[in-house]
């Protein structure tokens, strides 16, 4: 990826962002919470330090869940899921890959919360499967 910026936007384009630098982690998440937020059977996100991410148009809307005090962000216009943040992983933001202009540049490294995966979903990628995610356990 080099030093180029990663860019993306929600479905309607109201929320747009650019990110400088590399992600610290890219991962599939199988947890019930991420599935419900994204309405998908699995989600993929990239972890960045908050100061790497710049929202260049509208700021995302958000709400804080009771479970693990997670802040879920989304577009207030079209509803596209944008990210989540947790007070357990301070100063980090987890951006959903589906909103990146070039998600193929961000290759997943493993699966987390695999114990919650949907049994008929088989991603045969050879990546490690973590039963949970250490910051939550």
Q: pLDDT of 41-51, one tens digit each?
A: 999 999 999 99
**CATH number, position 71:** 2.170.150.70
Distance CA 82, CA 68 (A): 18
Domain count, the chain: 1
Domain that holds residue 127: 6-136
Read off the tokens for 44.
């993929």
What are the residues facing 71 on neighbouring strands? 64, 85
Q: Is residue 13 part of a domain?
A: yes
Whether the model clears a pTM of 0.75, i.e. scores above it, the answer is yes
pLDDT at residue 120 tops 90: yes
Q: Is residue 85 part of a domain?
A: yes
How much is the CA Rg of the chain, to the nearest whole Å?
Answer: 14
Q: Is residue 1 part of a domain?
A: no
Per-residue model confidence (pLDDT) at position 131? 87
């Amino acid at each position: 990826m080099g030093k180029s910026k990663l860019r993306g936007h929600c479905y309607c384009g109201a929320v747009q962002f650019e990110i400088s630098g590399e992600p610290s982690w890219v991962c599939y998440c199988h947890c019930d919470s991420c599935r419900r937020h994204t309405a998908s059977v699995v989600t993929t996100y990239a972890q960045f330090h908050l100061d790497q991410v710049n929202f260049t148009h509208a700021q995302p809307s958000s709400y804080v869940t009771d479970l693990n005090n997670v802040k879920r962000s989304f577009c207030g216009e079209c509803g596209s899921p944008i990210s989540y943040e947790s007070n357990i992983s301070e100063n980090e933001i987890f951006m959903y890959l589906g909103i990146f202009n070039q998600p193929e540049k961000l290759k997943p490294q493993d699966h987390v919360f695999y114990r919650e995966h949907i049994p008929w979903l088989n991603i045969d990628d050879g990546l490690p499967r973590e039963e949970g995610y250490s910051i939550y356990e």
